[in-house]
Structure 1
């Protein structure tokens, strides 16, 4: 909803850019293109949107860290009451979730920081023509990397998937190698 409401504030910025140019000095030519926009804090809708996003980000990190801390405390507290197998499953699942969270952080925040660094340092795209495309690709593929990581690190998920999707060629591979060795 807010994306539609703030669109005019981000798309039509000629007056705002002229105002900022008077305040900060002459802008370079690339800052006048349609794809270059400023955060228009003169707009109350955009200011409210920015505040809601900032609050949501802080709450997201706070709830994630709180959940991690409480899960670790709970696993440590009931470790004596759980069997070794159950505690191992819980710890493996927690490690898998933490690793997946790190992949999300690395594959989303680092490319975004790369964009901000590129804008701040004024990297000329002619020097690194594929830089933005590479960063966008990392952001887009974070879900696939996260899914693969979950399958590689989560023993319970991997065993369940093997039971759900039996691979018929697993046994035939072994019989082929035995046949070729005999020949």
Structure 2
């Protein structure tokens, strides 16, 4: 990358997301290991749904942190990439949008699976409404991606919009003119429709999740008459774990996006550049924190986790103890041989 295109940043803040990725990698490894190799038979089908969601999160996390490695430059609200894909910022942005859509779809699949597990035809109308909302949301996401493709040239041709930004602020740093920095070109009608459609899909997703939670609550109430208390408790735990996972995604995706859109309204000086790194770190880590929430809140998985690693710890201790005993035996044997040789010499 040309030196004139280098973004002046704090090394600590720049490497913050890298450090967090290294710290959270064991979470992914542990969760996937338990789901793949230690999963109970009754959990096998739901495991596939969970793994699909986790792999989506893994892709998003490492893509954003390594390949895109984006920084929001304030007060200009510019996306500046310093990762390996910095030459193709619009393409990188498109992949992230598609990844967010895939994350949303995988969460919907988890809700759908749990709803099928605890509900019956007694709430057929409600389930039909939820299905309709789901497919309409799919339609909106598909339309959003199509609009993004149609907007590609508008997003790629940044010269005119950057000139307007320079006119607005009087002057801009030299790196803003580089290809690795892009803006959401609000001068384009297609881009505006894309942004509006993407923003409007969030309330629709909230409606879907709200209706699903209500349907799941009704299903659990009905199952109390036909299932044991232990089964009801297990199902409720699965649902609470799913709610926690979803809450993590909502918070750690919505807050950074909200802060970004606020930069269009509020003037954040360049001296407050750190404010762009913290939301990006949140956005990057939403998948690993969701996996951690699953591992901790899902009792069957947490039970397997504790048993597996306690057994490993016990085996390590036993190995160390056996090694100590064998070492002591070898030392004792060596001492005996030495004593025998000394007696012979005498």
Q: Would you say same fold, with TM above 0.5?
A: yes
CA–CA separation in structure 2 for the residues paired with 1:139 and 1:38:
18
Deviation at 1:146, TM superposition (A): 0.4
Deviation at 1:46, TM superposition (A): 2.6
After superposition, the C-alpha distances for 1:20-42 in whole angstroms (9 at most, x for unaligned) are: 99xxxx61134994546355364
Equivalence for 2:279: 135
Is the 1:11–1:37 contact (alpha carbons within 8 Å) kept by the matching residues of 2? no
Match of 1:169 among 306, 312, 318: 312
Equivalence for 2:299: 155
**Superposed counterparts of 1:35-114, under 5 Å:** 35=181, 37-40=183-186, 42-43=188-189, 45-114=190-259
Query: What is the CA RMSD across the aligned residues, in angstroms?
Result: 3.5
CA–CA separation in structure 1 for the residues paired with 2:263 and 2:188:
25
What SS class does the counterpart of residue 120 from structure 1 fall into?
A: coil
Equivalence for 1:27: 168
So what's the TM-score if we normalise by structure 2?
Answer: 0.42
Q: Which runs of 5+ in 1 are unaligned?
A: none
Name which structure has the greater RCO, CA cutoff 8 Å, separation 6+: 2
Is the 2:245–2:290 contact (alpha carbons within 8 Å) kept by the matching residues of 1? yes
Query: For residues 19 and 176 of structure 1, do their structure 2 counterparts lie closer, same or farther at Cα, with a shift above 3 Å needed?
Result: closer
CA–CA separation in structure 1 for the residues paired with 2:317 and 2:163:
72
CA–CA separation in structure 2 for the residues paired with 1:121 and 1:104:
25
Q: Which runs of 5+ in 2 are unaligned?
A: 1-145, 323-346
What SS class does the counterpart of residue 102 from structure 1 fall into?
A: helix
Match of 1:125 among 258, 264, 270: 270
After superposition, the C-alpha distances for 1:12-68 in whole angstroms (9 at most, x for unaligned) are: 3554677899xxxx611349945463553643x334434542453333222121111
CA–CA separation in structure 2 for the residues paired with 1:160 and 1:172:
16
Is the 2:161–2:185 contact (alpha carbons within 8 Å) kept by the matching residues of 1? no
- In terms of Rg, which structure is larger? 2
Number of residue-to-residue matches in the alignment: 172
Equivalence for 1:146: 290
